[in-house]
Structure 1
């Protein structure tokens, strides 16, 4: 019998050539939106109902 992860457990994230990996739900505190600041500009990261990511300025 195989062990199955509990519901809502994030899937393992593959390593990407030494770039940091951040969990999107962690960035949004479990919600659908996060604001990200870079060089005085604020970007909006959204998680869609389909589970896709959209980053806008």
Structure 2
């Protein structure tokens, strides 16, 4: 287990360019995951109140 921190350090944190790339990738995946999670939560909380749930009542 002692080799894992040194491996992570040598592959990610040792060079600024790889650290910056890791930050950009982590930010992208976090943003995407947060967006999907918040959208899902909003849909669940407002289920039955959104237009896509009630539009069949108003369409001819």
TM over 0.5: no
**TM-score, length of structure 2 as denominator length:** 0.19
Greater strand share, 1 or 2? 1
The structure with higher relative contact order (CA 8 Å, sep 6+) is 1
TM-score (normalised: structure 1): 0.19
